[in-house]
Structure 1
Amino acid sequence: MWDPQWRILLDAGFRLIRCDFRAFGDTPPGEEPYRDADDVLRLLDALDVRETAVIASSGGGQVGLELAARWPERVTSLLLLATAQPGREKSEALREFGRREDELLEAGDLDAAVELNVTTWLGPEADGNTRAMVRMMQRRAFEVQSTAPDVEDVDVEFDLSAIKARTLAVSGAHDLPDFREIAAGLPQVVSGARHLELPWAGHLPSLERPADTARLMLDFMTA
């Protein structure tokens, strides 16, 4: 999903690392209890990266928050796009989305489950190519996750107020209320955090307006 920004950030002189979580992209499902944040930390250790900025979207933003809270000395900057938040109770709208998605998958209607995600997560300005990309990514995720064993997360306690990273939380005006409220509320939880709402965006601004999002990233990273 970061292909549109990849070359722009490289050309600006940044060293980039991107990873799929387990059961996404080409990364196989986990077979034992795990946490995505632990996986990311192990990757950074393996690459001998002691400090890094983190750019993350949606569920990846939740992992970024956890990473920055548990190991604040490792994360220097945190740019979150439509982020989820650890431990936050879901709204009725988000629970209804989950119920409908589960019903469609259990009925074997993969096409309808994919379309539900496309219509839920993309804002009104998303073009046909963007919708096709999200369809492809979501179908791939469903296919990989359908083979995943039932594995529980490792429980870990942490406090978001421990985050030291310079933080910008971005929301989309056409997103579900959960994610707009999370982004707007983070400055009350994370010291020095800022909130920015994009009037044109849904849940996936990096795909909806790739060039605009790339400029936002560069502005934040070079400030």
Structure 2
Amino acid sequence: MSVTLEHPPGRRCRDISTIALTATGSPVPVHGRLTGPEGAPTILVLGGISSGRNVADTANDNGWWRQQAGPGKPIDTNRHRILSFDFIGADIHPFPTTQDQARAILALADAADIRDLAIVGSSYGGMIGLALAELAPERVRELVVISAADRSSEMAKAWRSIQRDTVEMALRLGDGKAGLDLARRLAMTTYRTPDEFEARFADPDPDSRDAGGVATYLAARGEAWADTVDPQRFLALSRSMDEHRVEVGGLKCRVTYIAALEDRLVPADQIADAAKRTPRSRLITLSSVFGHDAFLKEDAIIGATLDEIFGS
């Protein structure tokens, strides 16, 4: 293992790298981050496919979940240590499974001498959390799964197939970035809800950020996404979500599922069904105009649940 210290020791944040082995024995480089005091209980934090190791704020970048993770936050880095990592993308052909991602995490945990951990996983990260709890039950103390289930719904697969076809067609035409742009625009319509779009864009304040209308909003989101994502990485992670499957009936740890009633990408009834089949589980439902993105936008209720679990 190689370990590089990205920030001064006082910030208690270091990046780590190691090599993981896939199910077929192929080596894959893995890059992660530890944030928080040495020796503190470890919480693995995983998000959607656009997230990575930058969970909490650092001197160099903003954390994608800074409202929930950091000093004094529900996942308090004064009392807990966060393990995070960059998902494996196109390094595994044709795509990494959620079990491959779980093996990569275990390799990082071994390299950092972490024997066991709790997990908070949202969206794709929730899928990986379930896969890890199935793969290595002795390593997982507790699991929180937000906006994710044991498999993908057929409607979610349908939406993602259109996104992949768009990107692949754009690649054939020599403009993968344009394909990513359009794929992200479509994705945003599955993450959010009709009620949110109506409230924001039907009659926007001319001085507000939404004055340009829904098409302008989607174009901005698509352009920003396309500027930061590799097309092959997107295709690999999209297929990974489609093929995700975990037998939750065999899980050993306590699992808290959190579902948004308005989530169309991972419907609440699908999460409820997974919870029923999970031996030591509970289900928390919330109503959110943000749908699948509730884990990013509903700070209060998500934070209260995390504080209940990790605050004592």
2:253 to 153, 156, 165: 165
Equivalent residue in structure 1 for 2:91, among 30, 55, 60: 30
**Alignment correspondent of 1:122:** 192
Which stretch of the first structure deviates more once superposed, 130-139 or 57-66?
130-139
Residue 106 of structure 1, aligned match among 146, 163, 168: 168
Task: Tell me which of the two structures has the higher relative contact order, counting C-alpha pairs closer than 8 angstroms and 6 or more residues apart.
Answer: 1
1:138 and 1:198 map into 2 onto residues whose CA distance is 31
Whose helix fraction is larger, Structure 1's or Structure 2's?
A: 1
Instruction: Return the letter of the residue paired with 2:76.
Output: L
SS in 2 for 1:17: strand
Over 3 Å counting, the alpha-carbon distance change for 1:147 and 1:83 in structure 2 is closer
Residue from 88, 94, 103 that aligns with 2:156: 94
Deviations, residues 73-105 of structure 1 (Å, cap 9, x unaligned): 1111100011132xx3632x2233123212321
How far off its partner does 1:142 sit? Answer: 4.5
| CA distance 1:158–1:113, change in 2 (3 Å) | closer
Partner in structure 2 of residue 13 of structure 1: 79
Tell me how far apart the structure 2 counterparts of residues 216 and 138 of structure 1 sit (CA, whole Å): 33
Q: Normalising by structure 2, what TM-score?
A: 0.57
1:69 aligned onto 2:134: yes
Structure 2 match to 1:59:
124
Counterparts of 2:84 and 2:222, CA distance in 1: 18
CA deviation profile, 1:96-120 (whole Å, cap 9, x unmatched):
3123212321342332211111121
Write the distance in 2 (CA, Å) between the matches of 1:73 and 1:219.
23
Which deviates the most, 55-64 or 29-38?
Answer: 29-38
Query: Which residue of structure 1 aligns with residue 307 of structure 2?
Result: 218
* 1:136 CA drift (Å): 4.0
Q: In terms of mean alpha carbon deviation, does 167-176 or 121-130 score higher? A: 121-130
Q: 1:186 aligns with which of 274, 279, 289?
A: 274
CA distance in 1, matches of 2:230, 2:67: 23
Q: Which has the larger radius of gyration?
A: 2
Q: Which runs of no fewer than 5 residues in structure 1 stay unpaired?
A: 24-28
Matches of 1:78 and 1:135 in 2, distance apart?
34
